[in-house]
Amino acid sequence: MIPRFRSSLALLVSLGALAGACTSVTEPPASAPAPPARTVDAAIAGSIAGTVTFSGTVPPDRRLPLDSDPACVQGDGPNPLSDAVLVSDAGALRNVFVHVKAGLDPAYGFATPADPVVLDQQGCRYTPRVLGVRAGQAIEIVNSDPTFHNVHALPKTNDEFNHGQQVKGDRTRRLFSAPEVMVRFKCDVHGWMAAWVGVVAHPFFAVTGADGAFTLAGVPSGTYTVEAWHERFGTRTAEVTVADRQAATVTFAFAAN
């Protein structure tokens, strides 16, 4: 019995070793590295430029009660007009945020600027009232007034924040990680204060100045949807085709609602 048992045991051991030798572990395929982001060739890039106008009767704006906090009163006096609607004698509309809304090849990549965009508080008003920032780029919020402000951002896609700045010279840095047009800022201490921030994933945006003009530089060739946004009058869109080394033009016209 013992020799037969040993023969059977040896056979089992041999079969086990053979089975182990035939067994293989399938490794999951290594994920392919992401392709490098496509970059815009500045030598052949085009641009989009234009103007934004307003027609009709400009709606009257309210006066701001700066005299409710003496620290707010500066050169414009105790009750200046709101700067929500600024239209020149020629009909140029200021503080319009213009950006490429759609059509940009998602393969393009753009480095996030290292320097922050500055949003100041002067005379208990946000300066500038409308600005653009890249997703992931810091916004530095400054209190230039000798009074208390709290910076209250009210995004819908990004995270809300509410940060107090007690003394003149206080600075706060925050950022929004996702594109969002537009993010409203307010101050819960001074209810008339308002600012609007357009958060975009690319550098093709601008805010109109006193002449209502804007330029989006370095735009690769393609057909785009360009949007113009105003806090009081809403949005306008236009389709614009950009060719290599060419400057495309577009105009936007707003009227009283």
* CATH code, domain with 229: 2.60.40.1120
Same domain, 126 and 154: yes
Structure tokens at 105: 């090849």
pLDDT per position as a tens digit, 42-75: 999 999 999 999 999 998 888 999 999 999 998 7
Give residues with Cβ within 8 angstroms of 253, minimum separation 6.
52, 53, 54, 55, 236
In a domain, 182, yes or no: yes
Same domain, 117 and 177: yes
Same domain, 106 and 129: no
Same domain, 57 and 81: yes
Last residue of a domain, one of 201, 219, 234: 201
Structure tokens at 158: 């990004």
Same domain, 208 and 104: yes
Query: How would you write the pLDDT of the chain (257 residues) with one tens digit per residue?
Result: 444 444 444 444 444 444 444 444 455 555 556 567 889 999 999 999 999 999 999 988 889 999 999 999 987 788 999 999 999 999 999 999 999 999 999 999 999 999 999 999 999 999 999 999 999 999 999 999 999 999 999 999 999 999 999 999 999 999 999 999 999 999 999 999 999 999 999 999 999 999 999 999 999 999 999 999 999 999 999 999 999 999 999 999 999 86
Number of domains in the chain: 2
Give residues with Cβ within 8 angstroms of 132, minimum separation 6.
97, 99, 117, 197, 198, 199, 200, 205, 206, 207
Cα–Cα distance measured from residue 163 to residue 4, given in angstroms and rounded to the nearest whole number: 85
Same domain, 129 and 197: yes
Identify the CA nearest to 143 among candidates 166, 177, 160, 161.
166
Same domain, 49 and 104: yes
In a domain, 162, yes or no: yes
In a domain, 18, yes or no: no
The range of the structural domain enclosing residue 123 comes to 112-201
Cα–Cα distance measured from residue 78 to residue 63, given in angstroms and rounded to the nearest whole number: 9
In a domain, 134, yes or no: yes
Same domain, 155 and 234: no
In a domain, 3, yes or no: no
User: What is the dihedral angle through the alpha carbons of 73, 152, 232, 117, rounded to the nearest 10 degrees?
Assistant: 90
Strand order across the 149-154 sheet? 130-134, 194-200, 180-187, 149-154, 161-165
In a domain, 210, yes or no: yes
Amino acid found at 86 = L
Same domain, 214 and 106: yes
User: What are the CA-CA distances from residue 134 to residues 7, 116, 142 (Å)?
Assistant: 77, 10, 19
Same domain, 153 and 178: yes
Last residue of a domain, one of 177, 201, 225: 201
Same domain, 45 and 148: no
Same domain, 197 and 119: yes
Which ranges constitute the DSSP H helices of the chain?
Answer: 2-22
pLDDT at 132: 98
State the first-to-last Cα distance of the chain, in angstroms, to the nearest integer: 104
In a domain, 229, yes or no: yes
Cα–Cα distance measured from residue 1 to residue 9, given in angstroms and rounded to the nearest whole number: 12
In a domain, 31, yes or no: no
Cα–Cα distance measured from residue 75 to residue 69, given in angstroms and rounded to the nearest whole number: 14
pLDDT at 2: 44
Last residue of a domain, one of 180, 201, 222: 201
In the chain, how long is the greatest CA-to-CA distance? Answer: 115
* CATH code, domain with 169: 2.60.40.420
Amino acid found at 24 = S
Degrees to nearest 5, angle at CA 216 with 210 and 218: 150
